[in-house]
Amino acid sequence: MKRVLKWAGYGLAGLAGVAAVAVGGGMAASEAMYRWPQAKPATRVVAATDPGAVARGQRLARAMGCNDCHGANLEGRMFDDIPNLATLYAPNLTRAVARQSDADLDRAIRHGVGSDGRPLWIMPSAAFADLKDAEMADLIAYLRSRPGSGPEQPHMKLGPIARVGIVLGQFHSEAAAIQAHENRQLPDLGPQYAAGRALARACVECHGFALEGSQSVLKTPDLGIAASYDREDFVRLLHTGVAAGDRKAGLMSDIAPRRFKGWSDAEIGRLHDYLKARATRQVAAAATEGVAKR
Ligand code: HEC
Ligand code: HEC
């Protein structure tokens, strides 16, 4: 979602460039950049076949928001239409899996490279780049478990503002974003927090690679804010979307019940412990810096 909104914010700023780029053959340039072939990353992921795989994959898909864009049945849909910017369709995954190998699917999901070797632009692959091989195996088992149904979706349509954004380097493909962030991972706070850290990957799409929050068009807080929540309120936020003090918290309130309702209290507790430990470390680091400056 962040990617979509990030593009949306470019709207007016980009307009000034539209005429210049249109005159200068921007249509062809943006088309070439949009389709620029990517190296196909190596992958050895194979769909899992054990009895629990499909259910685990489905749970992961829900937490990662796949269904928010690709639809409850993965049949795909038009999920955003912003005049002059783009009309966005998420592909019908029940049809895509029939044409694509497990490796193709992994490259799309974790590397941002389509089966035709072109970069993906809207699919938030950068937020999924850190999924483990075993998780991908479950996810692909789930995708393959759905019977083929519904029509193929059209490709997304780019408007003039999106083309200007691409030519001017304001919009980056997911493949490029992943390459640029290759070494950025969530802070590792030791084995006792590993389970909570794994769950926190579901927050990266909007709260950023290091959970530092985002000041772009979609404004999200640093997840240090979780330390100000007691356990009960934090569970309630993730299960129902109601923030501490009985507030509604924008997009967070909409997506939390859709994505995180299925998480147990114990899991949310481990996520909370991780976020609190991260906040404690931030405070300690800030204090040390303060001392050093004196
Ligand atoms: C913000 C909306 C959004 C979310 C969330 C999302 N996708 Fe996508 N996905 C897209 C769009 C749009 C495309 C089309 C290509 C592009 O972005 O350029 C796509 C493409 C794909 C493709 C390539 C399909 C093809 O026809 O080649 C696969 C596979 C895929 N998504 C799987 C997933 C999975 C699995 C998840 C969750 C882990 C997910 N997507 C989450 C929007 C989304
Ligand atoms: C699809 C985007 C999205 C995802 C994914 C997401 N968040 Fe948020 N979150 C937001 C936005 C936007 C806000 C700011 C809401 C507002 O306007 O007040 C927010 C706010 C919050 C807040 C502050 C609430 C308050 O008290 O105001 C917490 C805590 C939070 N998110 C936790 C999480 C956690 C934990 C995860 C992962 C399990 C997560 N979020 C995943 C978009 C998201």
Å from CA of 141 to ligand 1 middle:
16
- Please state, in angstroms and rounded to a whole number, the distance separating the CA atoms of residues 244 and 227: 12
- For residues 7 and 62, what is the distance between their CA atoms, to the nearest angstrom? 24
Ligand nearest to the CA of 219: 2
Q: How far is CA 10 from CA 13, 84, 86, in A?
A: 6, 11, 12
Q: What pLDDT score was predicted for residue 185?
A: 79
Task: From first to last of the 294 residues of the chain, give the pLDDT tens digit.
Answer: 555 666 666 655 555 555 555 555 667 778 878 888 777 888 889 999 999 999 999 999 999 999 989 999 999 999 888 888 889 999 999 999 999 999 999 999 999 999 999 999 999 898 899 899 999 999 999 999 999 999 999 999 998 888 888 888 878 898 988 888 766 778 899 999 999 999 999 998 889 888 999 887 678 999 999 999 999 999 999 999 999 999 999 999 999 999 999 999 999 999 999 999 999 998 888 888 777 666
| Cα–Cα dist 243/256, whole Å | 10
Query: How high is the pLDDT of residue 222?
Result: 96
| Ligand index nearest the alpha carbon of residue 123 | 1
Return the pLDDT at 4: 62
Distance 166 CA to ligand 2 centre (A): 28
Which atom of ligand 2 is least distant from the CA of 271?
A: 35
Count Cβ neighbours within 10 Å for each residue of 248-287 and write b for 16 or more, e otherwise: eeeebeebbeebbeebeeebbbbbbbbbbbbbeeeeeeee
- The answer to whether the Cα torsion of 271, 277, 281, 284 is positive or negative is positive
Can you tell me which residue has the tokens 């489905």? Answer: 58
Given this model, what pLDDT does residue 150 score?
96
Whether residue 87 contacts residue 81, with contact meaning beta carbons closer than 8 Å, is answered with: yes
| Distance from Cα 206 to the centre of ligand 2, integer Å | 7
Best of 60, 109, 123 for a ligand 1 pocket test (most atoms within 8 Å of beta carbon): 123
Cα–Cα nearest to 269, from 227, 226, 231: 231
pLDDT (0 to 100) of residue 24: 59
Q: Which of 131, 143, 68 is nearest to 100 (CA)?
A: 143
User: Cβ < 6 Å from ligand 2: which residues?
Assistant: 1, 202-203, 205-207, 218, 220-221, 223, 225-226, 237, 243-244, 249-252, 255, 260
Nearest ligand, measured from the Cα of 65: 1
Most ligand 1 atoms within 8 A of CB, residue of 2, 5, 70 to mutate: 70
